[in-house]
Amino acid sequence: VIPFPLEQIANLHRLAPEIILCVFGIAIMAVDPFIPGSNKRVMGWVGLIGTLTALASVGLVASDPGPAYSNLISADAFSVFIHVVVIVAAALAILGSLNYLDAEGAQRGEYYALVLFATAGMGILGGANELVTAFIGLEMSSISTYILAGFRRHDAKSNEASLKYFLLGSFATAFFLYGIAMEYGASGTTKIDGIQSFLIGWRAGHASPPALAILGLGLIFVGLGFKVVAAPFQIYAPDVYEGAPTPVTALLASAPKAATFAVMLRIFLVAFGTTADIWFWAVFLSAILTMFIGNLAAIVQSNVKRMLAYSSIAHAGYVLVAFAAATSVGVAAVLFYLAAYVLMKLGAFLVVTHLGQKGEKRLEIRDYAGLGLKQPALAACFSLFLLSLLGLPATGGFLGKFFAFQAALDLRDPRFVWLVVIAAVNSVIGAYYYLRVIIVMYFWEPSQDYTPTAVAPPLRVALIIAAAGTIYLGLFPGRVLFLAKTAADSLSLR
Amino acid sequence: MQTGSLFLTVITFLPLLSVAALLFLRSDDHVWIRRIALTASLAEFAISLLLLRGFDAADPHYQFEEIHPWIGQAIHYHLGVDGISLFLVLLTTFLTPLAILCSWQSIQENVKGFFTALLVIETAMIGVFVSLDLFLFFVFWELTLIPMYFMIGMWGHERRIYAAVKFILYTMFGSILMLVAILWLYNLSGTFDLQDIQGKLQSGIVALPPGTELLLFGAFFLAFAIKVPLFPLHTWLPDAHTEAPTAGSVILAGVMLKLGTYGILRFCLPLFPNAAHRMAPLIAVLAIIGIVYGALVATVQHDLKRLVAYTSVSHLGFVVLGLFAFSTVSIQGAVYQMLNHGISTGALFLGVGMLYDRRHTHEIKEYGGLATPMPVLMAFFLFISLSSLALPPLNGFIGEFLILVGTFEHHHAWAAWATSGSVLSAIYLLWAYQRVALGDITVEKNRTLPDASSRERIILVTTAAAIIFMGIASPLFTRRMEASTNQVLRQMERPQNASLPPVVPPPGAPTVTLRETQQDRSLAVIAGRLASR
């Protein structure tokens, strides 16, 4: 007789955010059919309450960190940090979606349910201490977002985005799964700490780590690199980001990236920390390639969503710079970067959500001519997000880059000096296309045929939160940096 | 040292605070927007003058210091002024009200945005001058860019967008490498505090291998040289100046270029003296090329504003030359020339702006014989030109003279070549004046141009007064700068073998330098007296 696994129930509260998100998601799905079409908007508020409740429950997790579910989940400070980031992102995305879906005539309950499920998946990714658990989290978030990307059912581009994302994403997760299998074959375990101690033990007797484990790690890098949009796995991103409904793009470009980077940190730095000298080159080259592809391609875009898509590719590159350092300082820098990145990227896409207007017709950069005079507040907000993405001081984006560069230089290694110089040059290249939008908004004559409507209150709240957060992180980063450091210390590197 | 006082914080952030006041006004309430901006900037100037009262000229250290922890252990909110930054702060607060006054009528669109940008720039520039923490410095440094970018791009002339983008990309490219260098310095020394880094480098606790020092110097210097701008990095400047609105040009030429020379003096020389000495000949040659080339190009301009822009390339060449001659006199001259250039060139741009307000062109051939319809304006224009071409006893003369004397001490050839720039400056300025003001009226429209209005007279008289005052009362300034410039030279001293861990300086070394300093000081006094006669 197998005894009832009591200790799993005992630690259930450490999964509280996921449970709450899923309960709310299921509740929305169950209630949705009974809500008349004109009132579907209520489901959005329910979803928002779900995210806020989940956010509150993160506090519960933080008060009693530790393992859960036979150590499959590690509810440590690191996991808490990622939870906060992804849940806040989800809440902002929901706020940005409410009026958008009304305008598009696509107000349906399952939209919010899917956002909640995706967020739960991302939460699992943030806490996963075991590869198959990570896979489950990855699939939960991916499958939900595949559907969300195609939510404008009658739009060809949205369909294309969904299909492309689904096909290529399935490939990527298959790679990830294959990698997990190899890890299991090599080390006999799929636990992060198990692999870590296996490799430490192996290294004591061998000069090089087992080839199978490294091969598996390569496959894992492909699978996760796809999700964080690191080159050379970035091809899909511009099409998907362009085609997906803009609030979905806002979510896609921010939260899943943060969550996937989190699980990458656990796998590469904790489990495979002892082989950092081997995987370093992969990350190093990928970082350089990612930055250059993202920034150079962004220059020639005329569509705002595509431009921001390439910009998020570039930002993945900057994160990889700190990632490559493979130190505790580097992890803290990555976490801080992700927090700042999520706010500014989400903010930028939410502005585009509004500016696109009905049917997403206004997505060319030149459509925004003279916006600075027509809607000063909105244009100022957009400028703030763009300048933060650019890395102007006094914004979160600058400090993200600053800490990332600092972490990389901390090693006093010429390779990292080069990496940082390349990243620095790239951020100047980036300046060109971010500033171009500002040029159009402020320096061009206002376009006559386009007067954007007023920003809806929920979206306005979301924008204010994102903007305030961006400035807060730029001026008073101390608190968040401290949390990021605590989170980094909660990982047992090496 | 007055630790704990908030004096510098108030001076730095008062303009930003007044922006908050502007935001409460309706954006079509142009009158009150202008009035509040002007009042705020005048109040700012008055408060900054109080700095002079508490300032101890004999103390070479930073004064009015404020230090508070900001981010983590390493980054502080650390402010302070010494005899060098003190006057640059005053220059900033002096020019801003003038810039506001000159935009009184000429800016009619988005007035609120314009004055907001102007005041934000003021805060950022003062912040650069008073920051004693490299991180804080960099934040302010970058913050100067965005409002200037908007100023050129939104209120500039025909090719404004091109000029704005060129301006910002150039500067950003330089500063981002400086950021890497700042981070690298932090890596070595564990702090962003300028004085701590200085102390650690000087005492040899942190040893820089020559190669590293050169790279760090290069990264800092590139950022500053672009800003100055040093030949051949100057190409952004004529475009930015020509396309900017008058106030933008005044601020750009008056203060922003000094951010570069100030940076060289504050960071490049004291932190990396060996590299500075190694690179000095090359930089001096570039500076001299800048002096001569800028002057020659200015001579052949047919656009008055572009002409004035190129004079900056020439004049700032003098400043850089003075800095890299490494003598107290030349460095003092360089600092003094920074102030002079700020006022004289600022005034030139103000004058050109007044002409532009009347005729909406910068073409010299559109003018001619203007002295007849506008005797007052043109008289002041001549006066300002004379100050810019360094006629004794006006301000420009003192600065150039000190630079040339100080340079001549050790580098006869440099001084000789540079002197040609002084001659050329007489040619391009007087020739330009001749074509604009003298002779017969060539364009019929000019016959009826109104002379300087009372608002313009206030601007002109103020600048002229400053020009005369700085010409005759130069010891009032140099006396307060002296201790600080000597301090910079002392900070440049290093143990003989800097690449080895702490070495006690050989007993002979300091005495030699001390004697030199003594000699330099007496020279400065002589020069000061000479000039004031």
pLDDT of residue B527: 54
- The better pLDDT of the pair B450, B141 is held by B141
Among chain B residues, the shortest Cα distance to A393 is held by B139
Is 80 exceeded by the pLDDT of residue A177?
A: yes
Question: Does the beta-carbon distance from A402 to B179 stay under 8 Å?
Answer: yes
Q: Which of A373, A412, A443 sits opposite B160 (nearest CB)?
A: A443
Q: CA geometry: angle at B17 spanning B103 and B39, to 5°?
A: 45
A363 pLDDT more than 90: no
Of A393, A427, A478, the CB nearest to B72: A478
- Chain-chain contact of B153 with A392 (C-beta, under 8 angstroms): no
Contact assessment for residue B104 and residue B166, using Cβ atoms and an 8 Å cutoff: no
pLDDT digits (tens, 9 = 90+) for A27-39: 999 998 898 878 8
Query: Is the pLDDT assigned to residue A136 strictly greater than 60?
Result: yes
Q: Provide, as residue numbers in chain A, all residues whose Cβ is less than 8 Å from the Cβ of B146.
A: 387, 392
CA B179 vs CA A194, A280, A423, A473, B142: distances in Å: 41, 24, 12, 19, 10
Give the residue from A427, A443, A471, A473 with the most B CB atoms within 10 Å of its CB, the best one to mutate. A443
CB contact under 8 A, A443 and B177: no
pLDDT value, residue B496: 58
Cβ–Cβ gap B154/A442 under 8 Å: yes
pLDDT score, position B160 = 86
> Which residues from A are below 8 Å from B145, CB to CB?
392
User: Average pLDDT of chain B?
Assistant: 84
- Cβ pair B177:A421 closer than 8 A: yes
Q: What confidence tier does A264 reach under pLDDT thresholds 50, 70, 90?
A: very high
For the stretch A9-19, pLDDT in tens is: 777 888 899 99
Backbone angles phi, psi at A74, to 5 degrees: -120, 100
The mean-pLDDT minimum among A279-293, B173-187, B518-532 falls in B518-532
Confidence of residue B110 (pLDDT cuts 50, 70, 90): confident
Q: Mind listing the pLDDT tens digit for each residue in A297-330? A: 999 999 999 999 999 999 999 999 999 988 999 9
Q: Tell me the mean pLDDT in the region B83-109.
A: 88
Cβ–Cβ under 8 Å, residues A25 and A50: yes
Nearest CA-CA partner of B128 in B260, B1, B287 = B260
The percent of residues above 90 in pLDDT, for chain A, comes to: 63
Instruction: Give residues with Cβ within 8 angstroms of A240, minimum separation 6.
Output: A149, A161, A164, A165, A252, A309
Check B183 against A424: CB less than 8 A apart: no
Provide ipTM, 2 decimals: 0.89
More confident residue, A290 or B519: A290
pLDDT digits (tens, 9 = 90+) for B312-328: 888 898 899 999 988 88
Tally A–B CB contacts below 8 A. Answer: 74
Which are the contacts of A473, defined by CB distance < 8 A and separation ≥ 6? A336, A339, A340, A343, A395, A396, A399, A400, A480
**Res A83: pLDDT:** 94
How does pLDDT run across B469-481, given as a tens digit for each residue? 888 888 888 888 8
Residues of A in CB contact (< 8 Å) with B are 372-373, 387, 392-394, 398-399, 402, 405-406, 409-410, 412, 417, 420-421, 424-425, 427-428, 431-432, 435, 439, 442-443, 477-478, 481
> Are the beta carbons of B113 and B72 closer than 8 angstroms?
no
Spatial separation of the C-alpha atoms in residues B320 and B224, rounded to whole Å:
11
Residue of A406, A412, A444 to mutate, interface with B, max B Cβ within 10 Å: A406
Q: Which residues of A touch B173 (CB under 8 A)?
A: 425, 428
Round to whole Å and give the CA distance between B524 and B43. 34
Q: How do beta strands A66-68 and A73-75 pair?
A: antiparallel
Q: How far is A112 from chain B (nearest CA, A)?
A: 38
Find which of B112, B172, B177, B192 to mutate to test the A interface (most A CBs within 10 Å of its CB): B172
Region B421-429 average pLDDT: 87
Is the per-residue pLDDT at B497 higher than 70? no
**For testing contact with chain A, the best of B138, B139, B175 (most A CBs within 10 A):** B139
A381 φ/ψ angles, rounded to the nearest 5 degrees: -60, -45
Is residue A309 classed as helix, strand or coil in its secondary structure? helix
Chain A hits for B248, Cβ within 8 Å: none
Which residue on chain A is closest to B215 by alpha carbon? Answer: A417
Which of B142, B160, B183 is nearest residue A405 as measured by Cβ atoms? Answer: B183
pLDDT bracket for residue A7 (50, 70, 90): low
pLDDT confidence of residue B432: 87
Q: Is the pLDDT of residue B348 over 50?
A: yes
For residues A313 and A252, is the Cβ–Cβ distance under 8 A?
no
The pLDDT of residue B122 is: 92
Q: What is the pLDDT of residues A347-360, one digit of tens each?
A: 999 999 988 888 77
Does residue B129 register a pLDDT over 70?
A: yes
Give residue B505's pLDDT. Answer: 43
Alpha carbon B310 to chain centroid, angstroms = 15
Residue A328, min C-alpha distance to chain B (Å): 16
Higher pLDDT, A176 or B60: A176
At A292, is the pLDDT very low, low, confident or very high (cuts 50, 70, 90)? Answer: very high
Question: Confidence class of residue B156 from pLDDT cuts 50, 70 and 90?
Answer: confident
User: Which pLDDT band, with edges at 50, 70 and 90, does B423 fall under?
Assistant: confident
pLDDT digits (tens, 9 = 90+) for B501-521: 444 444 444 433 434 444 445
CA distances B162 to A443, B154, B169, Å, are 11, 12, 11
Angle at A365 between CA A362 and CA A371, to 5 degrees: 80
In chain A, what is the straight-line distance between the N-terminal and C-terminal CA atoms, in Å? Answer: 39
Q: Would you state the structure tokens that stand for residue B405, as one six-digit string?
A: 């004397």
**Is the pLDDT at B187 greater than 70, yes or no?**
yes
Q: Is the pLDDT of residue B498 over 70?
A: no
Cα A393 to Cα A397: distance, rounded to the nearest angstrom: 8
Q: What percent of chain B has pLDDT over 90?
A: 15
Do residue A420 and residue B180 have CB atoms under 8 angstroms apart? yes
The Cα of B110 is separated from the nearest Cα of chain A by a number of Å equal to: 8
Q: Is the pLDDT higher at B106 or at A396?
A: A396
Residue A429 has pLDDT above 70, yes or no: yes
Mean pLDDT score of chain A:
90
Top residue of A429, A442, A476, A480 to mutate, by most chain B CBs within 10 Å, is: A442
Q: Is the pLDDT of residue A470 over 90?
A: yes
pLDDT in tens, A252-261: 999 999 999 9
Least reliable range by pLDDT among A442-456, B246-260, B389-403: A442-456
pLDDT per residue over A383-422, tens digit each?
Answer: 999 999 998 888 999 999 999 999 998 888 888 989 999 9
In chain B, % of residues over pLDDT 70: 92
CB pair distance less than 8 Å for A431 and B172: yes
Quickly state the pLDDT bin for A448 (edges 50, 70, 90).
confident
pLDDT band at A365 (very low <50, low <70, confident <90, very high): confident
Q: What is the pLDDT of residue B530?
A: 54
Which of A338, A301, A302 is CA-nearest to residue A320? A338
pLDDT of B522 strictly over 80: no
